[in-house]
Amino acid sequence: MEPAAQLVDATKSYGAVHALKGVSLDIETGEVVAMLGPNGAGKTTSISIMLGLRKPTTGTARLFGLNPTDRRARSRTGVMLQESGVPQVLKVSETIDLFRSYYPRSLPTARVIELAGLEEKAQSQNRDLSGGQRQRLYFALAICGDPDLIFLDEPTVGLDVESRRAFIQSIKGFIETGKTIVLTTHYLEEADELAKRVVVIDHGKIIADASPQEIKSKVVGKKVSFTSTRPVTQAELDGLPITASEVKHQRYVLVTGEPEAVLRELFRRGVDINDLEVTGAGLEEAFLALTGGPEK
């Protein structure tokens, strides 16, 4: 059976900038794959090439074994991109009906509205939707054609915590139907929760491709996190046995295989440590260790 989506030694250059450097990737039928990487790593470029929205400089892309621009492939594919737009005066149900008409087979409108969690807004005009509701509408339009493969490019970006959680439940509902899903996200906990396979791209190359558990197992060490009453300087971190560090929500996060030695040295250097936590490394720490920096 042909992969649902495929890149074969794909490169993409914009003048002197090499966005992709020989990426080969097979997305098998029924997989839920999260693509992670810093901004500019090549995630969106990879998806755009698989969708036929951009042509690779060299290499090839396939959807269901066909050219990505082939209508037979596109009719089986749903897409939720970062930048979308819909007619503002149409109602939610009308917009879904319009997009359903583009596909040879489609889900009933009521089912799409249910999967997207838009029951209370079905008769509202698009211009009256909140940011979270608008994201749900874009998700509805991506799934209304009952696609076998769906691309979700940063689907929860800009949503508040409550809206993100609700939206994740909608995605889980669609995953349960057995579809193939390719997800890019800045929220690593989403990848850990939704995906069975994680592909990490950095500087245009795939640097990791495994299950979340396998990737996390490659990080030997602990996560040391704390707050401080004053900024911690780089000089106070230099020379410590840490594999990655970042400041997140006013907390300093250090990944290390020697947490006791790190804390001992921080105290010796006079760092004011409060709200100390030492936990096992997760997907986020694995990402930091693999790429050398936080997801931005």
pLDDT score recorded for residue 296: 45
Mind listing the pLDDT tens digit for each residue in 122-181?
999 999 998 888 888 999 999 999 999 999 988 887 777 887 888 888 888 888 888 999
**How many angstroms separate the CA atoms of 91 and 32, rounded?**
31
Mind listing the pLDDT tens digit for each residue in 51-75?
999 999 999 999 999 999 999 999 9
Q: Does domain 5-212 have CATH number 1.10.150.120?
A: no
With a threshold of 0.85, does the pTM exceed it?
Answer: no
**Stretch 272-294: mean pLDDT, rounded?**
80
Structural class in CATH, domain 220-280:
alpha beta
**What is the number of helices (H) and of strands (E) in the chain?**
11, 13
Q: What is the 3-state secondary structure (H, E, C) of 41-88?
A: CCHHHHHHHHCCCCCCCEEEEEECCECCCCHHHHCCEEEECCCCCCCC
Mind listing the pLDDT tens digit for each residue in 10-49?
999 999 999 999 999 999 999 999 999 888 889 989 999 9
With a pLDDT cut of 90, the percent of the chain lying above it is 62
DSSP state of 91: B
Q: Domain residue spans in the chain?
A: 5-212, 220-280
